[in-house]
Amino acid sequence: MEYQVIIPAAGSGKRMGAGRNKLFIEVAGRPVILHTLDVFASDLYCKKIILAIQPNDESQFRNILAGHPGNGKIAYVYGGDERQHSVYNGLKAAGGQIILVHDGARPFIRQHTISRLVQAAHDNGAAIAAVPVKDTIKRADRNQVVETVDRSGLWQIQTPQAFRLPILMSAHEQAKEQGYVGTDEASLVEKAGQPVMIIESDYDNIKLTTPEDLYFAEAILAKRRNLG
Ligand SMILES: Nc1ccn([C@@H]2O[C@H](COP(=O)(O)OP(=O)(O)OP(=O)(O)O)[C@@H](O)[C@H]2O)c(=O)n1
Ligand SMILES: C[C@](O)(CO)[C@H](O)COP(=O)(O)O
């Protein structure tokens, strides 16, 4: 089933502390963004990649992506101050029935997860990648525990997040009218009253956020090379 994907890539990487867009950092000798785009480039059902970037990163992105197999599918839009604004700018360039949003900082997404998300979004309207929480979660007030959260129903949410395009567009427009900023697309869609399905992903689908994540990234790629 055909789909388009928005890749938010306009962040500043403050928590990474690299002093530049973390998607330009090399892992196994290649910039993070190339790893992220690989699966969408090779997926014949992926008809368009909408890359949301900062204007001052444009020449570097274009140079890095010039030789990538997915380059012919890429449309560039400028991002905004918040991730949500970057995604909304991407939505305005999107078409077709199914739209995915996938963090540029998540380079290890698998094809079979994407395929399941696309089908679930077609069937149900909205579907997101997630893995069960492994740690005990507690709520604290000024570092003092006030509540232990029942872990049985908790999921660690990832991207891709997949939607029928009108559902996501409407949710973003409602959030804009209400001045609501969420940390993922699903929170906007939930707020609009649309059920959201969870599709179990895998623990390799990490978001490269802090420097430690780069060690994990090298290990994930080494594992995949060894598995062939
Ligand atoms: N205004 C923004 C903020 C983030 N992103 C993108 O959204 C993804 C997930 O965001 P995050 O990991 O938080 O990236 P940064 O915002 O760059 O990180 P930080 O919060 O540490 O600055 C990243 O691919 C990032 O480039 C974006 O397109 N536009
Ligand atoms: C969308 C997301 O990756 C789901 O876990 C996450 O909310 C992004 O958060 P960030 O702070 O913008 O990286």
Confidence label for 147 from pLDDT (cuts 50, 70 and 90): very high
Nearest-atom number in ligand 2 for the CA of 106 is 3
User: pLDDT band at residue 102, thresholds of 50, 70 and 90?
Assistant: very high
Atom of ligand 1 nearest to the CA of 208: 12
Q: What is the mean pLDDT of the chain?
A: 97
Average pLDDT over residues 105-132: 98
Which tens digit of pLDDT belongs to each residue from 121-137? 999 999 999 999 999 99
For residue 183, report the distance from its CA to the centre of ligand 1, in Å.
Answer: 10
The pLDDT value recorded for residue 148 is 97
Q: Determine the pLDDT at residue 27.
A: 98
Does residue 30's CB lie within 6 angstroms of at least one atom of ligand 1?
Answer: no
Identify which of 5, 22, 83, 185 to mutate to test ligand 1's pocket (most ligand atoms within 8 A of the CB). 83
Short-list 68, 100, 101, CA closest to 86: 101
Query: How far does the centroid of ligand 2 lie from the alpha carbon of residue 104, in Å?
Result: 11
Instruction: Give mean pLDDT, residues 55-80.
Output: 97
Q: Is the pLDDT of residue 100 over 90?
A: yes
- In 114-142, which positions are buried (b, 16+ CB within 10 angstroms) versus exposed (e)? bebbbebbbebbbbbbbbeeeeeeeeeee
Q: Give me the long-range contacts of 218-222 (CB less than 8 A, separation at least 24).
A: 218/27, 218/28, 220/108, 221/27, 221/28, 221/35, 222/28
Expressed in angstroms and rounded, the spacing between residue 25 Cα and the centre of ligand 1 is: 14
197, two tokens: 């399905």
How many angstroms does the Cα of residue 209 sit away from the middle of ligand 2?
9
Ligand 1, atom 24, lies closest to the CA of: 104
pLDDT of residue 146: 96
Which whole number is the average pLDDT over 134-143?
A: 96
Ligand closest to the CA atom of residue 211: 1
pLDDT (0 to 100) of residue 228? 78
Report the predicted TM-score, pTM, of the whole model to 2 decimal places: 0.98
- Going along the chain from its start, the domains and CATH numbers come out as 3-227 (3.90.550.10)
What are 58's two structure tokens?
């444009």
* Atom of ligand 2 lying closest to residue 11 CA: 12
Write out pLDDT tens, residues 194-212: 999 999 999 999 999 999 9
Q: Tell me, letter by letter, the H, E, C secondary structure of the chain.
A: CCEEEEEECCCCCCCCCCCCCHHHCEECCEEHHHHHHHHHHHCCCEEEEEEEECHHHHHHHHHHHCCCCCHHHEEEEECCCCHHHHHHHHHCCCCCCEEEECCCCCCCCCHHHHHHHHHHHHHHCEEEEEEECCCCEEEEECCEEEEEECHHHCEEEEEEEEEEHHHHHHHHHHHHHHCCCCCCHHHHHHHCCCCCEEEECCCCCCCCCCCHHHHHHHHHHHHHHHHC
